[in-house]
Amino acid sequence: MAFEHLSISALQSLLNEKLITLIDIRDQASFLAGHIAGALHVGNHNIESFLADTDCNLPLVVYCYHGNSSQGAADYFNQQGFNQTYSLDGGYTAWPVNQHV
């Protein structure tokens, strides 16, 4: 099964209802300037350890700036064995400002 698209409202519901893995694939400076609460920063510097240490059975939500790069990343993680992978539609820029960390 390939990755699926996830809306902002669907992510908000998932965050309230169950355990998921949420990753931010933007650059480090952007992540440090603000990110969705609970998100992990994943990039070339830590992808191997992330793959080794993360439960592939939990839903994985990937976001980037606008929801474009996260689609390829979600597909990649799906190929690495994650059972449920999602790309956040609209990315970080679509996330409500009052919910940024």
From 22, 39, 64, 73, the catalytic residue: 64
Please state, in angstroms and rounded to a whole number, the distance separating the CA atoms of residues 82 and 64.
18
Active site residue 56: no
Q: What are phi and psi of 87, to 5 degrees?
A: -110, 130
Q: Are strands 4-6 and 85-88 parallel, antiparallel or unpaired?
A: parallel
Q: In whole angstroms, how far apart are CA 45 and each of 31, 72, 97? A: 14, 18, 28
Q: Is 81 left (phi over 0), alpha (psi -120 to 50) or beta?
A: left
Q: Which residues are catalytic?
A: 64
